[in-house]
Amino acid sequence: MIAETIKNSARILSGASIAEAIKREVAGEIKTLSYRPGLTVVRVGEDEASAVYVGSKIKTSAELGIRSEHRHLPADTSQKELLRIVDELNERDDFDGILVQLPLPKQIDESRILERINPEKDVDGFHPANVGRLSQGAAALAPCTPAGVIEILKRSDIEIAGAHAVIVGRSNIVGKPMAMLLLRENATVTICHSRTVNLARITSQADILVAAIGRAGFVRGEHIKAGATVVDVGINNVSDADYVRELFDETELEKRLTTIEKRGFTLVGDVNPKEAKAKAANFTPVPGGVGLLTVAMLMKNTVDAAKLRRQK
């Protein structure tokens, strides 16, 4: 089992060690190929978080042996121009994956751009064709974050088949594809959202609880079944020191408060970690949990896309 254990607390599932294992597997597979898979990442504008994410993707590509290209476009790029670039990349045989980093500037319709990407090169798994195949249980390039959650569960020896999995959040990026992937693994799945009545009554029945609602520390002890596995997908910046004191126990609080002093904020998931660790059997931390799997799964999708295209 790839995990760390904290005394008298939940087992902390290590996203770092699982991500490294997946990247090693991908690098090993690339060495067996007679070609180098290629990935193009397109970024529009100067969003700081996007720049960090893209940098990580390009760096990891180089480390694993994937040929990568970064197209950085100005913030005033038109939708017409971005569509032209996507069309160009669709036609290139030397690149197997196309990723357009979100969010995009307001003048660009994200759905138009994502739908224009060739489904065979859609390594983000957002194209309607891949979404449809996923919903049918067919082979498809799946969104990286939900696919990473499945890897965490499997590689931590957590039984999915027959489990009641509850997802808090219904986004197209995490919530809905997460449900499809869990169904594919034979879980019984319930999706909750902002309009769900008596949320805690439903979530407290979950053997596997996935939080992806975008609200810092929203899921608390009352929402968690004793002995459940809690997967925290949320990433939120919290600068309120008093609120941070409510979320973290003495083993982590000082570090978090120091981070706020230095950076002005600390990263917090959608789950109250103090209460989750006291009640759950397994828990993914933020940071250090699901987020680290996203880039690893992108690398895996790129290799899978390369193999599928050449088989055709």
* Concatenated DSSP letters of 93-157: TT--EEEEPSP--TTS-HHHHHHHS-GGGBTT--SHHHHHHHHTT------HHHHHHHHHHHHTT
pLDDT score of 99 more than 90:
yes
CA-CA distance, 291 to 35, in Å (whole number)? 29
Q: What percent of the chain stands above pLDDT 90?
A: 92
Task: Give the separation between CA 209 and CA 227, rounded to whole angstroms.
Answer: 11
Is the pLDDT at 173 greater than 60? The verdict is yes
**For the residues 159-187, what does the mean pLDDT come to?**
97
Least confident of 47-51, 94-98, 191-195: 47-51
pLDDT above 70: residue 2:
no
| Pair of tokens at residue 141 | 């390039």
Contact criterion met (CB below 8 Å) for 198 and 190: no
pLDDT at 157 over 60: yes
Give the H or E element holding residue 283. Answer: strand 282-283
What average pLDDT does range 207-231 have in this prediction? 97
Q: Each residue of 179-213: pLDDT tens digit?
A: 999 999 999 999 999 999 999 999 999 999 999 99
Local confidence band at 8 (pLDDT 50, 70, 90 cut-offs): low
Q: Residue 4 pLDDT more than 50?
A: no
Q: Has residue 5 got a pLDDT over 50?
A: no
Catalytic residues: 57, 101, 124
Could you give the domains of the chain? 36-119 (3.40.50.10860), 143-292 (3.40.50.720)
What was the pLDDT predicted at 1?
45
Per-residue pLDDT, averaged over 114-133, amounts to 97
Looking at residue 177, its amino acid is P
pLDDT at 310: 87
Whether the per-residue pLDDT at 311 is higher than 80: the answer is: yes
